[in-house]
Structures are given as structure tokens and as C-alpha cells.
Amino acid sequence: VVLSRLQSDSLPGNNGFRHYVTDACHFNSTELKDIEFIRSYHYNKLEFLRFSSSLDKYVGYTELGVKNAERLNKDKAELSAMRAQKERYCLNHVGPYSSNILSKSGELILTVNQTDQSGEKISCVVEHASLKDPLRTDWDPSMPESERNKIAIGASGLVLGLVLSLAGFIYYKRKARGQ
């Protein structure tokens, strides 16, 4: 589950390009160890710098971002302030959301399809916070009954059409000989 906020501004003289910062809390429980705080810095829709509480450091994604990450990772006060955001921002907001989000679950429907006919057994396993146990589905290469019924009806229609066409052709030939 992701909880996020956006801070945006248009910098003077930047020809309409936007600079914005997003804060996000990724969580699957209300325990602090299960929460990740991420602050992302964007310019013109491109993320160039990110702080992740899981990595406990800044990571740059562009040349400018890498330079800023190196500078900010040396600043102990900055890193300490970012670590505190996990508890200050995330922990205070996760509680109300988790009771409304994590406690809700619906029926998951899982369909597995295979494209190559290698003969191996294929399974899909889904683990999700709303599931007590992982959901496992094996791919069944046999055709579903509804598909088999469609093919049977189509084949029956084809055979009936051929029989009627043949009967019509025979009738036409007999009539043509009789004249």
C-alpha cells in the first residue's frame, strides 16, 4: 500500500518545466519495520534523486542526481532528518489508512496461460497482505468446458451445412437430368 503527497513549484526562468517532490510510504502493516519512506525529486517528469529509508541513503538517477546524492549522503544531519520522516510522516498516517485498507480483502482471481507447448508443469504463486496463505494455481492444459461446447456447436453447424449443401446439390443434379 502506498501513501503519498506531492510538493510542486514552477521555478522562475525554467521555461515551464516543473520541479516537484513526492513523499511516499510503502507499507503492509503498521509496524515501523514494515514501512518504507521514499522521497523522490523530479524535474520535468524525470526522477533524478531519491531517498529510501530501506537503503538509508540517497540514490541519483541522472548525472545531477548522482552528484546531489553524493553530497547529501555525506551530510549526517540531512540523513538523520530523512530517517525521522519515516516515523514522523509515515507512522502517523499509516495507522488510519491501514485499518481501512489492509483489513479489506476481496476474492483474488488468478488465471495462468501458457504460450509454448514444452510439456512442463507451470504454476503461479501469489503472496498478498490480504491472503492468509499464498494462492497457488496450476496451469491446466485441457480446454475449459465452455470452449469445448463452442467447438462442438461450431463443428455440428459445419456438418449440418455440408449435409444440406450436398442434399441440395444432389436434388439439383437429379432435376437437371430429368428435363
pLDDT in tens, the chain (179 residues): 455 566 666 555 556 567 888 888 887 777 777 888 999 999 888 999 999 999 999 999 999 999 999 999 999 999 999 999 888 888 777 776 666 665 566 666 666 665 576 666 777 777 776 667 777 877 666 767 788 788 889 999 999 999 999 999 999 888 888 76
Conformation bin of residue 65: beta by default, left when phi > 0, alpha when psi is -120 to 50 = alpha
Distance (Å, rounded) from C-alpha 75 to C-alpha 108?
46
Distance (Å, rounded) from C-alpha 38 to C-alpha 92?
15
Q: What is the pLDDT of residue 52?
A: 93
Q: What is the pLDDT of residue 153?
A: 92
The answer, as to whether pTM is greater than 0.75, is: no
Cell of 178: 430429368
Cα distances (Å, whole numbers) of residue 59 to 21, 33, 69: 14, 21, 6
C-alpha torsion 98→100→104→108, nearest 10? -70
Distance (Å, rounded) from C-alpha 131 to C-alpha 152?
39
Q: Are 57 and 79 in contact (CB under 8 A)?
A: yes
Cα distances (Å, whole numbers) of residue 136 to 128, 142, 143, 159: 12, 18, 20, 41
Q: What is the pLDDT of residue 2?
A: 55
Cα distances (Å, whole numbers) of residue 6 to 22, 88, 96, 121, 145: 5, 17, 19, 46, 50
Q: Are 92 and 30 in contact (CB under 8 A)?
A: no
End-to-end CA distance of the chain: 83
